[in-house]
Amino acid sequence: MLLNQHLNFTGTPSCQTHKCQELSVNFCILGKPENTALPQLARRPFSYKSDDRPTDNQLHYKNVAIFFLEKDMRPGTTMSFQFPINSNTATFLPRERAQSIPFSSNKLPEIFNHFSVKPTSVEAKTIKQTIEECEAPGIKGEEIYCATSLESMVDFSTSKLRTRNVQAISTEVLEKGATMSMHKHTTMPGLKKLAGDKVVVCHKQNYPYAVFYCHVIKPTAAYVLPLKGDDGVKVKAVAICHLDTSEWNPKHLAFQIIKVKPGTIPICHFLPTNHIVWVPNHKSA
């Protein structure tokens, strides 16, 4: 099967075609080379095993819809959040080139040297944290893989979905004007559930070249939800709902925000514009 899917990132993309065994992927990416400056990376809110307590900065967002409930996707619901301009514009390397660069915590000196990064710098800490999070085990039943090339991300996703006929979908800001400002967004009619209860979600990491933290947690539901901001900007948002949170760390930020306990109710979150969900490409339920 062939997949010709343009992923919807913000900005002006350049398209590259990658051959992945029998799968041809037409993939649009933003055009900055490796050695992109890296900001300091906070702990990812989509890591469900972390023993870290929510930071004061994270708890500041209790009134922001980082996490929400399935009922909040009904038309007319208003939630506060932001779909900022994508600042992480690192691009994929070809698989052969990515495989030639070490990606392991026991190879950090080589990695720092390759990217001309000082070991005591913020960039070095960001690289180290990204690799450590990729190497950390997931929760029970979670399968994790950090893709350092588009080819490896496609291979992982198609192997877990057990089909090469797949869709790659991301949140799309339909109009120019997305900013770092917080806005109230109202859910509009047109909620669409994507096929199946097994999806592969890939979160873009801060790294000198494109690295995606991909994971599979069953059961999970994926939706595309139309939103309209109070600034008039329309968004086609991808929402992921985790139907069983019983294995999540009880200290996770989601439980602090929604005020529920693990395993009691499905928890949902939107995907940022540069993250991707992979689903089987057949008629949705």
What single-letter amino acid sits at 155?
D
Q: What is the per-residue pLDDT for 101?
A: 97
* Least confident segment among 2-11, 162-171, 271-280: 2-11
Higher pLDDT, 36 or 96: 96
pLDDT higher than 90, residue 7: no
Does 4 fall in a domain?
no
Does 93 fall in a domain?
yes
Q: What is the per-residue pLDDT for 48?
A: 55
pTM value is 0.78
pLDDT higher than 80, residue 275: yes
**pLDDT bucket at 49, cuts 50 / 70 / 90:** low
Does 7 fall in a domain?
no
Query: Could you tell me if 222 and 199 are in contact, meaning their C-beta atoms sit under 8 angstroms apart?
Result: yes
Residue found by looking up tokens 């080139």 in the block: 97
Burial of 100 (0-12, 13-18, 19+ CB in 10 A): exposed
The total number of structural domains in the chain stands at: 1
* Least confident segment among 91-95, 147-151, 166-170, 216-220: 216-220
Does 35 fall in a domain?
no
Q: What is the per-residue pLDDT for 26?
A: 36
Q: What is the per-residue pLDDT for 219?
A: 87
pLDDT higher than 70, residue 129: yes
* Least confident segment among 16-25, 100-109, 133-142, 266-275: 16-25
Does 26 fall in a domain?
no
Read off the pLDDT of residues 87-126 as tens digits, 9 standing for 90 and up.
Answer: 678 999 999 999 999 999 999 999 999 999 999 999 999 9
* Least confident segment among 75-79, 139-143, 174-178: 174-178
pLDDT higher than 70, residue 204: yes
Q: Which string of b and e fits 237-258 if b means at least 16 CB within 10 Å?
A: bbbbbbeebebbbeebbbbbbb
Picking from 165, 185, 161, the residue whose alpha carbon sits closest to that of residue 173 is 185
Residue ranges making up the domain that contains 57 = 50-280
Does 213 fall in a domain?
yes
3-state class of 2 per DSSP?
coil
Query: Could you tell me if 220 and 23 are in contact, meaning their C-beta atoms sit under 8 angstroms apart?
Result: no
Which 8-state DSSP code applies to residue 3? B
Read off the pLDDT of residues 231-250 as tens digits, 9 standing for 90 and up.
Answer: 888 999 999 999 888 888 88
pLDDT higher than 80, residue 182: no
Residue found by looking up tokens 């999540």 in the block: 248
Query: Could you tell me if 178 and 119 are in contact, meaning their C-beta atoms sit under 8 angstroms apart?
Result: no
**pLDDT bucket at 22, cuts 50 / 70 / 90:** very low
Higher pLDDT, 127 or 15: 127
Does 17 fall in a domain?
no
What residues have CB less than 8 Å from 106, skipping those under 6 apart?
A: none
Does 189 fall in a domain?
yes
Query: Could you tell me if 221 and 241 are in contact, meaning their C-beta atoms sit under 8 angstroms apart?
Result: yes
pLDDT higher than 90, residue 8: no
Cα angle value 38/241/231 (rounded, 5°) = 65
